[in-house]
Amino acid sequence: MKRLIILLAAVWLAGCAAVVKVEGEQVVRNRLSVQLPSAWNRIANHHEPFELWTQDGAALDQLRFWSGVKPGEALIRTSFTPAGQTAPRVPTFAANMPPDQLVSMFEMLFSADGSQVKTDRIEPARFAGENGVRFEFAVIRKTSELQLRGVGWAAVRNGELFAATFTAPQLSFFQRLLPKAEGVVATARLR
Amino acid sequence: MNAGSPSGRRRFLRTACCHCAAWGGLGLGLAHAQDAADATIAPRLERPAIDTDEGGLWAMMDREERRLRRGPLVIRDEALSTYLRDLVCRLGGEHCTDVRVHVVRTAQFNASMAPNGMMQVWSGLLLRVDNEAQLAAVLGHELGHYLERHSVERMRDLKAKSSAAMVVSMFGLPGALVGLGIAASAMGFSRDQELRADRIGMQLLRRAGYDGREFPKVWENLLAELKVTGGEDAGRRSVLFATHPPAADRRDALRAMAGEAGGRLGTEELERVLAPHRMDWLQEEIRRGQYEESLALLSRKLARSDDPHYLYARGEVYRLRNRDDDLPPALADLQRGSQLLKAPPELFRSLGLLHQRREDAAGAIGAFERYLAAAPEAGDAGLIKTYLKELKP
């Protein structure tokens, strides 16, 4: 019985996300390096095609990095589709996407769960040493009705997408944590 | 029910008012082809005593309604609220003082009714109905669930099943799947309840002087969108609701119930009250990124009216989908829209970006300049000005 309980506990815990403390130089998927002046929490096994870090917990703030995304690759994991049905479209990077379409792709990403997304600023910017785009947006999360603010950066180099987004609750968290997130993003360099 | 955790409580509350997942795309219920006029309408419902299970459910839904009212997703528009209240009064007569309609910003098609009289209508539904008669059909159906107190029956059923779900969910994945099956049977109304709600809805619709033939059209239009991802069997096949009858049967039964008497459509009335919100809702529809479904919806809208907002939305969807054969229809829609009065500024942005892709510098410059003239404070003005600088020799 004791063994069974331990086994069940192990199976249950295996489903939990592992959180690892990260600081100093970090390399995202071998292609994008960033310097962390202070520690962040890395969510290790979330099964999504992006790197995910947080300060106060992923339910609140999220700093995401995509690195070396090739044309045809999705920004999020594709969900299971029952036999005979067409999979719902997921935000997918395509070759030669201009900045406005990159932003539309991220709008689709953050509204994929039914959340409301509104981009209120798009401007040319440099990201990871490349010419790209910076955008600011607001999200009303469908599941909790939490109001988030977000900022994103994206650039394409040699046909591959490199991008980052930071989202946090509009009330207090975003203003407090944005300088930290921007500080990290400003150090992003391609390898 | 796990009343102890906020998320568990929220989930339970949602199941208590999310009856019409049927509207959201899962086939539920079968309406018999009999005269809708033979259903009787219940008198006004008394508020149940607080120490009963029904009274407890009402109290919980009252709290949920207060939360909804304060929340960021509810649309606060006095003209729209008054219009919906009047529509419910026209349909529900004396019941209208007990029913409150809240419009919720969500791009999908759905409506729900809680036992305490809180009705939620999602903006995606309002975007999809073509006239007041179609909206009245949905509201009438929801009123049918309210009048028959279906959610109380459902809550008692859910309480009976929840202990079984807790037991099976202790055994990992297979247990979770069984749990899902139980949750699915609890989430939707039964086939008989859907039948009753359809019949009452049709009765209320016709009694208020609307054309009953618009009711099956709601279902038919939704089915056309569902077929995009679900194929021809969209209304028949569903993992969760496999035991329920096919959606097409429901449409056919409603057609038979509607008769040929005709009646009021109220197209202009609906158009007038929704016009201030339409652009926002179209943008939300586009952002869903489900381009094929949006194209089915927008093509249906454009078959009825050559409106520059719908032309913008369809052109933008083609532009964003960006398949090899999408460029000509995108250009046709946006150019057509640009020649119409009341073309939204975003149409010129979309047209400029499309010309830019076609390497038509003069066309792009002209469209971008019209966009910036119409919306000088646009959030992406900085990006568009950069594009203009690159385009001008």
Indicate whether B146 belongs to any domain. Answer: yes
- pLDDT per residue rounded down to tens, chain B (393 residues): 333 344 445 544 554 444 454 444 333 333 343 444 455 677 888 888 888 888 888 888 899 899 999 999 999 999 999 999 999 999 998 889 999 999 999 998 888 888 889 999 999 999 999 999 999 999 999 999 888 877 777 777 766 666 545 433 433 333 333 333 333 334 467 777 788 888 899 999 999 999 999 999 988 888 888 787 776 666 555 433 333 456 677 778 888 888 888 899 999 999 999 999 999 999 999 999 999 999 999 999 999 989 999 999 999 999 999 998 999 999 999 999 999 999 999 999 999 999 999 999 999 999 999 999 999 999 999 999 999 999 987
A158 or B158: whose pLDDT is higher? Answer: A158
The pLDDT assigned to B170 comes to: 35
Name which of B383, B387, B388 to mutate to probe chain A: the one with the most chain A Cβ atoms within 10 A of its Cβ.
Answer: B383
Whether residue B188 sits in one domain with residue B40: yes
Cα torsion B311, B379, A187, A140 to 10°: value is: -70
Whether residue B172 sits in one domain with residue B249: yes
What tens digit of pLDDT does each residue of A74-90 get? 999 877 776 777 778 89
Q: In chain B, how many domains are there?
A: 2
CA distances to B133, B256, B257 from B261, rounded to whole Å, are 14, 12, 11
Cβ–Cβ gap A108/B284 under 8 Å: no
Q: Which residues of A touch B287 (CB under 8 A)?
A: 104, 107-108, 111, 117
Which of B258, B292, B323 terminates a domain? The answer is: B258
Whether residue B249 sits in one domain with residue B294: no
Whether residue B210 sits in one domain with residue B93: yes
Q: Which residues of B touch A147 (CB under 8 A)?
A: 72
The pLDDT assigned to B235 comes to: 59
Whether residue B301 sits in one domain with residue B214: no
Whether residue B19 sits in one domain with residue B69: yes
Whether residue B229 sits in one domain with residue B105: yes
Whether residue B234 sits in one domain with residue B89: yes
Whether residue B233 sits in one domain with residue B344: no
Q: CA B140 to CA B196: how far, in whole Å?
A: 11
Whether residue B110 sits in one domain with residue B65: yes
Superfamily of domain A10-78+89-190: Mog1/PsbP, alpha/beta/alpha sandwich (3.40.1000.10)
Q: What is the DSSP string of B247-277?
A: HHHHHHHHHHHH-S---B--HHHHHHHHHHH
CA B228 to chain centre: 17
Length of chain A: 191
Which of B191, B226, B258 terminates a domain? The answer is: B258
Cβ–Cβ gap A123/B73 under 8 Å: no
The pLDDT assigned to A143 comes to: 83
Which of B226, B258, B290 terminates a domain? The answer is: B258
Indicate whether B1 belongs to any domain. Answer: no
Whether residue B195 sits in one domain with residue B280: no
Whether residue B163 sits in one domain with residue B108: yes
CA A62 to chain centre: 7
Q: What is the DSSP string of B196-212?
A: HHHHHHHHHHHHTTB-T
- Tell me the domain boundaries of chain A: 10-78+89-190
Point out which residues pair with A130 in neighbouring strands: A127
Indicate whether B28 belongs to any domain. Answer: yes
Q: Which domain holds residue B242?
A: 6-258
Q: pTM of the prediction?
A: 0.84
